[in-house]
Amino acid sequence: MQALGIDIGGTGIKGAPVDVATGKLLADRQKIDTPRPALPNAVADVVKKLTTSFGWSGPIGITFPGVVIDGVTKTAANLDPAWLGVDAAALFAKATGGQVRVLNDADAAGVAEMRYGVGVGETGTVLLLTFGTGIGSALFTAGMLVPNTEFGHVEIRGRDAEKRASEHAKELHDLSWGKWAGHVHEYLQHMEGLISPDLIIVGGGISKQSDKWVPLLTGIRARVVPAAMLNDAGIVGAAMTAVPAGSGS
């Protein structure tokens, strides 16, 4: 079974068709900058462009950087407040003319990593964190997803954790790898105090350079490993959720 996966981020929107039986992209992914301001109709136009660029007419899975409940966006910390309360599933279905499922972006990445990546076979508590414009999170226990955790917004030193430990924070404050890894380390220790994960998977675009910072995360009880699917996990997870269980996936 095939589906189109589209991953909406704070800085870019990317997509590709996916073979959900293998987790492999069926074409090179395409990426378009997230519009500014990131208003619903403007983002929907980008989603339409990506769908059209692949000549797609099948099921579509779309991630969103915020809480999504029954296709409705409840938070949008890194996009625009206009998203609050929007029926995103209906908006994107109208824009693309297709069958659409919408879910939290980190949840999608986690679903992909648990099925095709480093989470395969893990039965304990697994925490996936994506470091990008913000920090996304996906929590699994016994292989089951606890949706919409949004742990990037836990408070560290009086501020959202993502204000200190996201990739954007590293770039904004021109932090060295060592300094930034220190912020990430503090955040991971805080998360260990809350949920005691057995495995922490770190993803997002900066995971491509994991050799520069993951080895600096010493003293963390959990195993800390980079995501196997790197920055494609959101696309793959989105596509997976677009295909109903038992439909040949």
- Topology, domain 2-104+232-242: Nucleotidyltransferase; domain 5 (3.30.420)
For the chain, domain boundaries: 2-104+232-242, 118-227
Angle at 160 between CA 156 and CA 161, to 5 degrees: 60
Residue with the two structure tokens 């996906």: 138
Give residue 176's pLDDT: 98
> pLDDT tens for residues 198-226?
999 999 889 999 999 999 999 999 999 99
> pLDDT tens for residues 98-129?
999 999 999 999 999 999 999 999 999 999 99
Amino acid at 56: W
DSSP state letter for 249: -
Check if 2-104+232-242 and 118-227 are the same fold.
yes
Rounded-to-integer distance, Cα 223 and Cα 217, Å = 10
- Topology, domain 118-227: Nucleotidyltransferase; domain 5 (3.30.420)
